[in-house]
Structure 1
Amino acid sequence: MRNIGKSFAGVPALSGVDFEVRPGEIHALLGANGAGKSTLMKILSGAYTNDSGDIVIDGGTAAIRTPADAKANGIHCVYQEVDTALVPQLTVTENVMLDRISAPGGKGWLRWGSLHREAESVLSQLGAHIPVRKRVSELTLAEKQLVLIARLLTEQARYVIFDEPTAPLSLDEAERLFGVMQQLKNNGIGCIFITHRLPEVFRMCDRITVMRDGRRVMTAETQHTDIEEVVREMLGRSFAEEYPKTDAVIGSTVLTVSKLSRARYVRDVSFEVRAGEIVAIVGLVGAGKTELSRLLFGADKKDSGDVRVYGRQLDLSDPASAIAGGIALVPEERRKQGILVSESVGRNLSLPILKTLTRLGFISKQRETRNAASIIERLGIKTSSPALQTMYLSGGNQQKVSIGKWLSTDVAVFVFDEPTKGVDIGAKSDIFRIIGQLAEQGKAIVYLTCEFTEAMGIADRILVMCDGRLAGSFLREEATQEQLLLYASGGGEVNG
């Protein structure tokens, strides 16, 4: 890929990116969230078209405008969400041979015995012994990945893009996938490996390319670099953005989480948060942060462990139990889970306290309006009226509503899951100020984010999450972005 450029609505997503893959190599493509990795790979796989630059295969320019063009050039993808590429109602054989079976015009009668034997042969090449007459819907996620890879082999794949393939897998399943990738490499197939887990990169990959802000900033032979250099290149060298950090008085312990677990998403997580303290939990996508927030709020059922507020164990059988116990959640998906977009600003701001605004079964409009006006002024929510539907607010103001609805309650713990996602810089600053004010009031703050700079800017203490576990703990003044990314990528010692 030479000098690839791509813009969306006039905003550059890729600028002059060069990237190459050799037959029989595993080439890691790395970068922080938003670096441009996915956009570059969508261009290579035909999901997007590039605005400038060329894709060259075997010395000739390839016109890749659709996914069919990419496949015709031997370029295939293995995503985390393998179900999007498989047909669950069909058998393993039918999925492995899907292109041949569905080819236009057909080739006469299908010889199913021959097709089953061919599917078995391809799967055995991958070390997979999966019953080929079984429906794909009955397979494990790891088995589905192998079925998809087997299909690529029948379609004469030359280059395979692996996009975070190990994120949903257990350690044993990941080991099996690595064996398959090594086989593909030995067969002369070029593999592109996108992952956040740096130890996997240094174990499996021949070369590493790092992207940042839509540009390629580094390509190196794996043996000639190390994790620390890769982390520096991923992050850049400046801690550019400043965050409003107020010094709140930190009191006694409010929230105590002990050995909280749910399946493989959250594993033996224990920590404490004191009054006035902001504890950030950082991690990469898939680390388990959102799953942890949902457990704390009773949205998902825990397998084991307990959560206490001021020493009292909470039931957490549902969100109502969490709220009654003193925990509020500002979720990552605010439009789906944090606000009712079709309701007014005023109604959203009164949702948690409707009982106190109700008399004889009727909501007091006067009280609701007074409550809304107070919170709108306090948080600086930009709206023409409390009666305006929340869907018409900007993302930052919708987030302020999602936070503001809890301000009239007496909850002691605020859990924020990626609260600045999709908001502009000005609104980010306002959200940081609001969180600081809550800390000054003695609230315990849990701040979950994949933005390490945010955690270093506003937190008193930073915990690092990796693969469902807490992998490290740092005081604000001792944390560096390099350390945090190292631990979040599985490169540090796991505590506990």
Structure 2
Amino acid sequence: MQISMQNIHKAFGTNQVLSGVNFELQHGEVHALMGENGAGKSTLMNILTGLHRLDQGKIIIDGNETYYSNPKEAEKYGITFIHQELNIWPDMTVLENLFIGKELKSSLGFLKTKEMKALAKEQFKKLSVTIPLDQEASQCSVGQQQMIEIAKALLTDAKVIIMDEPTAALTEREIQKLFEVIASLKKEGVSIVYISHRMEEIFSICDRITVMRDGKTVDTKPIPETNFDEVVKKMVGRELTERYPERTPNLGKTVLQVKNFSRKGVFENVSFSVHSGEILGVSGLMGAGRTEIMRAIFALDKFDSGELWMNGKKVNVKTPYQAIEQGIGFITEDRKDEGLVLDFSIRDNVVLPSLKSFAPKGIIKDKNEQTFVEMLVKRLTVKTESINSQVGSLSGGNQQKVVIAKWVGIGPKVLIMDEPTRGVDVGAKREIYQLMNELTDRGVSIIMVSSELPEILGMSDRILVVHEGKISGELTKAEATQEKIMTLATGGQ
């Protein structure tokens, strides 16, 4: 399938999102679509698949002017979109999620469960996925849910697959498996639009790249004819001298101690500490228990045994509210379901954990609240017309900035950041890293869980590696390498 989108314009009210965008996709090509958060990448693909109507321009598919009325029609003709924000039904099983709306039925209307299971197992085998098909999707990690979405797309026999940040929740091993699947699809003539902020991936698997900025097409080039610095400059309109800002940590006393944390079947005898002014990186494969440990510290999930100590004193944290009272903030990896209330405004989301400070006598001081939110939105460069805009209307990266603003706003002593730059563009990533440096300069302790090894190596002062629910090793910044981390993450010494 060949696609040509010509001079595409789209506005939502007074907000002009696309202004004359041109994009071409060739048969059997992996085409990278890059740009800062809010550049219009997802909107462009939503127009292609019929979720939004264009205001001006043309879409030519295989030589014919073509417009789909909705994503289901686009899928029927061979175009599938794997969205950055996962479309998983949590109360349904994995199998039901894979075939929702596309169930196989007999002539009498009975479900062909055996046949669907066989097809699902075949796709899972291609992706090296081992998730029970009868398990509820809510019991799956974000990474597993991402693999379910990818498998769902492969089941449609698509001619074009749009992948929006497909590896954001995946481990290195899963990413490599996905790349093998992409190479196989390409040989079969399937075209792929690959939206990602991970430069290494773009230069590893893509044939061409189109860069967008502020709703316009900046350039399209074959991958061999460009480089990292050129792409970044075109994306952000300026040069980024260093990918990870230099850190000069001034470590103070121990702030948080986790002692012998255990939860049967999930993690066992986990002990570690973090100092004031320190960024403690936490690495490990998906399912190793990294996120589960952090959720237990913040009291989102229960633990069976263990102790928490803050500034040398044992503390009793049984609820997230008690964790906040102790000065612990938690940026969850699942911003859509746990990090934000999508129907609320940016303002309401940012002040949620800090409401008590704006209403000491039960009455909210609007002016103070507005000043507080505007300051945080400005500091984190959230692209929005107003702090009263619905947070669900923002791009994924800008939503992530709102999540970070919410927890920075409580003035934390310890800030747990689980995948803090997932779905965030290279320019915004650097802004988040600089903010992390500013926080640690003020004595805040940061625990950063990340699946991106370059991020772990670039920002951590010390690194813990988790393997099968246990701390398998600890590395200083000086001795850490990708090879050592992966060795520990896979159970080696």
| Interval containing the TM-score (normalised by the shorter chain) | 0.5 to 0.7
- Secondary structure of 1:216's partner? strand
The correspondence of residues 16-95 of structure 1 with structure 2, limited to 5 A, is 16-79=20-83, 84=88, 88=92, 95=99
Aligned to 1:471: 456
Aligned to 2:367: 382
The answer to whether 1:229 aligns with 2:230 is yes
Question: How far apart are the structure 1 equivalents of 2:97 and 2:373?
Answer: 48
Aligned to 2:395: none
Task: Give the aligned CA root-mean-square deviation in angstroms.
Answer: 5.9
Aligned to 2:14: 10
Decide whether aligned partners of structure 1 residues 43 and 472 sit closer, same or farther in structure 2, where only a CA change above 3 A counts: same
**Contact 1:123/1:150 (8 A) holds in 2:** no
- Secondary structure of 2:17's partner? strand
Question: How far apart are the structure 1 equivalents of 2:196 and 2:150?
Answer: 18
Aligned to 1:272: 275
Decide whether aligned partners of structure 1 residues 280 and 92 sit closer, same or farther in structure 2, where only a CA change above 3 A counts: closer
Decide whether aligned partners of structure 1 residues 3 and 302 sit closer, same or farther in structure 2, where only a CA change above 3 A counts: farther
Decide whether aligned partners of structure 1 residues 296 and 17 sit closer, same or farther in structure 2, where only a CA change above 3 A counts: farther
Deviation for aligned residue 1:176: 2.7
Aligned to 1:349: 356
| 2:438 partner amino acid | A
**Contact 1:314/1:321 (8 A) holds in 2:** no
**Contact 2:95/2:133 (8 A) holds in 1:** yes
Unpaired runs of 5+ residues, structure 1, are 102-106, 240-249, 353-366, 384-392, 404-415, 476-491
Deviation for aligned residue 1:25: 1.3
What whole-Å deviation, never above 9, does each CA across 1:22-73 have from its counterpart, x for those lacking one? 1111112222322221111111111111111111111221122322342243
Decide whether aligned partners of structure 1 residues 45 and 303 sit closer, same or farther in structure 2, where only a CA change above 3 A counts: farther
Aligned to 2:424: none
Aligned to 2:190: 189
**Contact 2:8/2:18 (8 A) holds in 1:** yes
Aligned to 1:116: 115
Q: State which of 431, 438, 443 in structure 2 corresponds to 1:453.
A: 431
Decide whether aligned partners of structure 1 residues 171 and 118 sit closer, same or farther in structure 2, where only a CA change above 3 A counts: same
Question: How far apart are the structure 2 equivalents of 1:89 and 1:460?
Answer: 41
- Secondary structure of 1:20's partner? strand
**Contact 1:330/1:338 (8 A) holds in 2:** no
Question: How far apart are the structure 1 equivalents of 2:439 and 2:212?
Answer: 30
What whole-Å deviation, never above 9, does each CA across 1:273-319 have from its counterpart, x for those lacking one? 34xx9x899xxxx9x99999866644456899986543445454433
Question: How far apart are the structure 1 equivalents of 2:294 and 2:112?
Answer: 50
More off after superposition, 87-96 vs 207-216: 87-96
Question: How far apart are the structure 2 equivalents of 1:310 and 1:176?
Answer: 44
The normalised TM-score by structure 2 is 0.59
Question: How far apart are the structure 1 equivalents of 2:319 and 2:124?
Answer: 48
The correspondence of residues 320-335 of structure 1 with structure 2, limited to 5 A, is 320-323=321-324, 325-327=326-328, 333=339
Aligned to 2:425: none
What whole-Å deviation, never above 9, does each CA across 1:344-373 have from its counterpart, x for those lacking one? 99x943699xxxxxxxxxxxxxx827xx69
Aligned to 1:177: 178
Decide whether aligned partners of structure 1 residues 167 and 251 sit closer, same or farther in structure 2, where only a CA change above 3 A counts: closer
Question: How far apart are the structure 2 equivalents of 1:31 and 1:47?
Answer: 21
**Contact 2:58/2:65 (8 A) holds in 1:** yes
What whole-Å deviation, never above 9, does each CA across 1:429-471 have from its counterpart, x for those lacking one? xx99xx8997xxxx85859665433653781658886417761
| 2:115 partner amino acid | H
Aligned to 2:361: 368
Aligned to 2:165: 164
Aligned to 1:479: none
What whole-Å deviation, never above 9, does each CA across 1:134-168 have from its counterpart, x for those lacking one? 55748964763464134211xxx211112222233
- Secondary structure of 1:210's partner? strand
| 2:180 partner amino acid | G
| 1:456 partner amino acid | Q
| 1:123 partner amino acid | E
**Contact 2:86/2:146 (8 A) holds in 1:** no
Decide whether aligned partners of structure 1 residues 34 and 217 sit closer, same or farther in structure 2, where only a CA change above 3 A counts: same
The correspondence of residues 140-159 of structure 1 with structure 2, limited to 5 A, is 141=145, 144-145=148-149, 147-153=151-157, 157-159=158-160
Question: How far apart are the structure 2 equivalents of 1:118 and 1:321?
Answer: 44
- Secondary structure of 1:43's partner? helix
| 1:3 partner amino acid | N
| 1:368 partner amino acid | K
Aligned to 2:463: none
For the pair shown, the structure with the greater C-alpha radius of gyration is 1
* Percent identity over paired residues: 28
| 2:75 partner amino acid | K
Question: How far apart are the structure 1 equivalents of 2:225 and 2:295?
Answer: 42
What whole-Å deviation, never above 9, does each CA across 1:100-129 have from its counterpart, x for those lacking one? 74xxxxx95579889939964993797379
**Contact 2:328/2:413 (8 A) holds in 1:** no
Aligned to 2:255: 255
Decide whether aligned partners of structure 1 residues 261 and 68 sit closer, same or farther in structure 2, where only a CA change above 3 A counts: same
Aligned to 2:465: none
Question: How far apart are the structure 1 equivalents of 2:37 and 2:136?
Answer: 31
Aligned length: 398
| 2:276 partner amino acid | V
